[in-house]
A and B are shown apart, each in its own frame.
Chain A
Amino acid sequence: MDVELLSRLQFAITIAFHYIYPPLSIGIGVLLVIMEGLFLKTKNPVYEKLTRFWVKIFALIFAVGVATGIVMEFEFGTNWATYSRYVGDIFGSALAAEGIFAFFLESGFLAILVFGWNKVGPRVHFLSTIMVSLGSMLSAVWIVVANSWQQTPAGYHIVGEGLSARAEVTNFWDMIFNPSSVDRLLHVLSGAWLAGAFFVLSVSAFYLIKKRHIELSQKAIKIALTLAVFASLFQLFTGDRSAIGVSDNQPAKLAAYEAHFDSLAPAPMYLFGWVDENKQEVKFSVAIPKLLSILISGDPNYKVKGLNYFKPEDRPPVNIVFQSYHFMVAIGFTLITISLLGILFWWRKSLFKKKWYLYILVFSVLLPQIANQLGWISAEVGRQPWIVYGLLRTSEALSKVVEADQVLFSIILFMIIYLLLFVLFIYLLNEKIKAGPEEIDKSSMVYGHQKHVIGSG
């Protein structure tokens, strides 16, 4: 295999594995703020117990997220040195800003969130919870801005020629608010909220089925279901906005999403199918006539550019983009259905009696995770063959001095440790869930610092 394929494989593996965790942190972070806020408001100890339980799970997820994130910070330099030289002026600033504004905030207050229960008062603790949640979302802001600039570059000019060419910022705010930043950020954030909400729903539904921690789990389900309904509907809105943005800014990607080879007016929208890229046709497909034209422009006769409009060397792979995109959309609608069904049962006061529904919740934890991964696959593979859309090709972005066997060696190294990490993560998560929320030992609840305790400890 060549360096390009291996480097792409390595990036795909490391980012996909990393991306299991940050969305969970963002989603659970929001829920922690709500849970602890309810505790401070109602003084009901059930909410405190609930918060403490989820803080423990949050800490485990966060730790794996940090450990796998360090790799990402340096991988641009190790495997994509030419890319790094080309975009350093822009992409580097976003990464540095993420470190300064988000990582320090998160990691600092995380210490109080996890270890500070007995060291600070309830209000300061709540403040820390808010800060950690804010930090995790700020981190998403900067990284999505950086990625969006790769999709829809703006606020830059190219300096130098040939090998020494690079992009330099001309307008910082145009660079930050490039055409796709806001839509994609909201799409990523609501995907993360869904990941957190369905994780909490899954564990709580499991407890209800096992008839354990009933009061606590019912409260958790109500909180998480509220977020799930909001986020899943919001996701429909942001997804629609993102697709319209793609049609304006990256028409070749949209054509791959929908596997349109010829430019069509009106353009239909496929519900599913299998793309034969050589024969340029979609087999076993069901399509709704005119729908794509209507969704994009409101005009049923709007002409959507097909892949053949673009030079062969500028077209992304089609089938993988088509499949990942369509599966993502299908999961999105499934999540809306599950959430609305939950609200209906809640309203009818039968939510906790429907065992089949609780079983669906237990397993639905996987859906947002899969959808988040698929979303990134369609976004990133759909951007190919460009690493920076229209400016720099992926094949030209590699490190010149790195050889295939070095990359292969590093892939093996990461596969070993990620596999180990994943097994341990699942094992410990399972242990924590089996143990369940702990009774709070009020005798250790001494606020302020203990200075002169000798012999204990």
Chain B
Amino acid sequence: MEFTLDLNTIWFILIGVLLAGYAILDGFDLGVGAFYLLVKDDRDRRVILNSIGPVWDGNEVWLVTGGGALFAAFPDVYATVFSGFYTAFMFLLFVLIFRAVAIEFRSKQQMKWWRKWWDVSFSVSSILIAFLMGVALGNIITGIPLGADKEFAGSFFDLLNPYSILVGVTTVALFIMHGTIYATMKTEGDLQNKIRTWVNNSIIFFVMMYAVLTTTTLIYYPHMSEHFIGEPFLYVVALLNMLAIANIPREIHHGKDFFAFLSSGFSILTLFVLFAIGIFPNIVISNPSPEYSLTIYNAASSQGTLNTMLIIAAIGVPFVLAYTFTIYWVFRGKVKIDNTSY
């Protein structure tokens, strides 16, 4: 595949950036939700919840904007994927709402049953969201049955294949690791010591899943590594990814939680890049009948729109980054519970 940096490719990259941004940012707050029930004390739970309090809904905006950008740049992908994965997406939307409600309402009442119910809802929906996102990515790798009319030609249960489930579980493991590291940064005292031990366990869990997934992908889905042959530059990404993952336990060992978090974020980013290189120039691979795959060319909007959108992105993205850094800067440091907290 000849690589040219045209508008279609730029938009492939930009949407990748938005979704990777989503995975890195919402990744840690989903991860926090995933291990949340292991924290037993009510006050500790509030500390954990408030560690993501001011940022979780800004993090979800990355997904919403990613969805909007996909609609604008590759409308056929947006239409095919969301109508094809209908039931799965409806379920995903359902749990996304449920989770938002749980975070918002949990601490508004003192009753034990109330808090317990929302705590369980928050945790279960966080795990399910991470899992379903992983399953969706898995299906992009395995490919889904598409027709000549660009429409999905399979059923709901095709989507729950073993490989996609493996990607789903790996995503959960990745986010738990990312979330425990984040929580270590935001807590102190006994709670922090407890979470620190979970960081180690979650690293082990993730690395195991990562090894299994990588091996499986290389054996069963060799198209994911085709572009790497003869391109040593691309191999560097894979190497950086492994180094970033290996660096996490090292930073944790030295007590440099922030650097561990950066490493973890960087490994999510590089994993995403590896995934994007693997599927390029396809966005949705058709399996069987690869000729029906949706690519960055046959599924794209007009060149005029891609160009206009690029101007919009060029104006908007610097602001977005500025807000994001500002918010994380204002709310840096350990969590304090006050009367504005959840």
Roughly how many angstroms separate A165 CA and B57 CA in the complex, as a whole number? 37
Taking CB atoms, residues of chain B closer than 8 Å to A181 are none
Tell me whether A74 and B89 are in contact (CB under 8 A).
Answer: yes
Taking CB atoms, residues of chain A closer than 8 Å to B86 are 78, 399, 401-402, 406, 410
* Chain B residues at the A interface, C-beta cutoff of 8 Å: 47, 53-55, 57-58, 60-61, 63-65, 67-76, 78-84, 86-87, 89-91, 93-94, 96-98, 100-101, 104-105, 108, 149-153, 188-189, 301-302, 304-305, 308-309, 312-313, 316-317, 319-320, 323-324, 326-327, 330-341
Interface set, chain A 398-425, CB cutoff 8 A to B: 399-402, 406, 409-410, 413-414, 417, 420-421, 424
Among B69, B83, B332, contact of A401 (Cβ-Cβ < 8 Å) = B83
Roughly how many angstroms separate A68 CA and B57 CA in the complex, as a whole number? 13
Tell me whether B301 and A444 are in contact (CB under 8 A).
Answer: no
Shortest distance in angstroms between A92's beta carbon and chain B's nearest beta carbon?
3
Roughly how many angstroms separate A119 CA and B328 CA in the complex, as a whole number? 12
Among A71, A91, A413, A451, contact of B71 (Cβ-Cβ < 8 Å) = A91
Residue of A nearest to B330 (CB): A119
Roughly how many angstroms separate A111 CA and B340 CA in the complex, as a whole number? 11
Tell me whether A89 and B301 are in contact (CB under 8 A).
Answer: yes
A89-B75 contact, Cβ under 8 Å, with A101-B316, A400-B83, A457-B334: yes
Tell me whether A417 and B97 are in contact (CB under 8 A).
Answer: yes
Tell me whether A451 and B312 are in contact (CB under 8 A).
Answer: no
Shortest distance in angstroms between B28's beta carbon and chain A's nearest beta carbon?
15
Taking CB atoms, residues of chain B closer than 8 Å to A312 are none
Tell me whether B302 and A169 are in contact (CB under 8 A).
Answer: yes
* Chain A residues at the B interface, C-beta cutoff of 8 Å: 60, 63-64, 66-71, 73-74, 76-79, 81-82, 84-85, 87-93, 95-101, 103-105, 107-112, 114-120, 159, 163, 166, 168-170, 172, 399-402, 406, 409-410, 413-414, 417, 420-421, 424, 428, 431, 438, 441, 444, 449-451, 453-457
- 5 nearest A-B pairs in the assembled complex, by CB-CB distance: A88-B75, A77-B82, A99-B65, A92-B72, A100-B316
Taking CB atoms, residues of chain A closer than 8 Å to B105 are 424, 428
Taking CB atoms, residues of chain B closer than 8 Å to A96 are 65, 68-69, 71-73, 309, 312
Tell me whether B94 and A413 are in contact (CB under 8 A).
Answer: yes
Among A90, A95, A115, contact of B340 (Cβ-Cβ < 8 Å) = A115
Residue of A nearest to B322 (CB): A108
Shortest distance in angstroms between A62's beta carbon and chain B's nearest beta carbon?
9
Residue among A117, A400, A428 with the most chain B CB within 10 A? Answer: A400
Knowing that A79-B83, A93-B301 touch, tell me 15 more A-B residue pairs with CB under 8 angstroms: A70-B63, A77-B82, A81-B83, A92-B72, A98-B68, A101-B319, A105-B319, A107-B57, A118-B340, A119-B330, A406-B87, A420-B101, A444-B338, A450-B333, A457-B337
Roughly how many angstroms separate A63 CA and B63 CA in the complex, as a whole number? 16
Tell me whether A110 and B83 are in contact (CB under 8 A).
Answer: no
Shortest distance in angstroms between B326's beta carbon and chain A's nearest beta carbon?
7
Roughly how many angstroms separate A441 CA and B338 CA in the complex, as a whole number? 10
Tell me whether A73 and B67 are in contact (CB under 8 A).
Answer: yes
Taking CB atoms, residues of chain A closer than 8 Å to B57 are 63, 66, 107, 110
Taking CB atoms, residues of chain B closer than 8 Å to A120 are 330
Taking CB atoms, residues of chain A closer than 8 Å to B339 are 438, 441, 444
Taking CB atoms, residues of chain B closer than 8 Å to A85 are 75-76, 79, 150
Among A81, A111, A455, contact of B331 (Cβ-Cβ < 8 Å) = A111
Shortest distance in angstroms between B295's beta carbon and chain A's nearest beta carbon?
15
Tell me whether A92 and B94 are in contact (CB under 8 A).
Answer: no
Roughly how many angstroms separate A78 CA and B64 CA in the complex, as a whole number? 15
A400-B149 contact, Cβ under 8 Å, with A81-B80, A100-B316, A115-B341: yes
Taking CB atoms, residues of chain A closer than 8 Å to B340 are 114-115, 117-118
Roughly how many angstroms separate A304 CA and B88 CA in the complex, as a whole number? 49
Roughly how many angstroms separate A227 CA and B318 CA in the complex, as a whole number? 34
What are 9 A-B residue pairs whose CB atoms fall within 8 Å in the complex? A68-B97, A77-B67, A81-B79, A88-B72, A97-B68, A115-B331, A424-B105, A450-B336, A454-B189
Shortest distance in angstroms between A100's beta carbon and chain B's nearest beta carbon?
4
Tell me whether A107 and B333 are in contact (CB under 8 A).
Answer: no
Roughly how many angstroms separate A99 CA and B312 CA in the complex, as a whole number? 11
A170-B304 contact, Cβ under 8 Å, with A79-B83, A457-B334: yes
Roughly how many angstroms separate A118 CA and B335 CA in the complex, as a whole number? 13
Residue of A nearest to B340 (CB): A115
Tell me whether B71 and A115 are in contact (CB under 8 A).
Answer: no
Tell me whether A421 and B101 are in contact (CB under 8 A).
Answer: yes
Shortest distance in angstroms between B67's beta carbon and chain A's nearest beta carbon?
5
Taking CB atoms, residues of chain A closer than 8 Å to B97 are 67-68, 70-71, 417, 421
Tell me whether B71 and A88 are in contact (CB under 8 A).
Answer: yes
Tell me whether B312 and A399 are in contact (CB under 8 A).
Answer: no
Tell me whether A401 and B308 are in contact (CB under 8 A).
Answer: no
Roughly how many angstroms separate A210 CA and B188 CA in the complex, as a whole number? 45
Tell me whether B65 and A93 are in contact (CB under 8 A).
Answer: no
Taking CB atoms, residues of chain B closer than 8 Å to A410 are 86-87, 90
Taking CB atoms, residues of chain A closer than 8 Å to B341 are 115
Residue among A93, A108, A451 with the most chain B CB within 10 A? Answer: A108
Taking CB atoms, residues of chain B closer than 8 Å to A168 are 301-302, 304-305
Roughly how many angstroms separate A168 CA and B304 CA in the complex, as a whole number? 8
Tell me whether B304 and A108 are in contact (CB under 8 A).
Answer: no
Tell me whether B94 and A417 are in contact (CB under 8 A).
Answer: yes
Tell me whether A73 and B324 are in contact (CB under 8 A).
Answer: no
Taking CB atoms, residues of chain B closer than 8 Å to A66 are 57, 60, 100
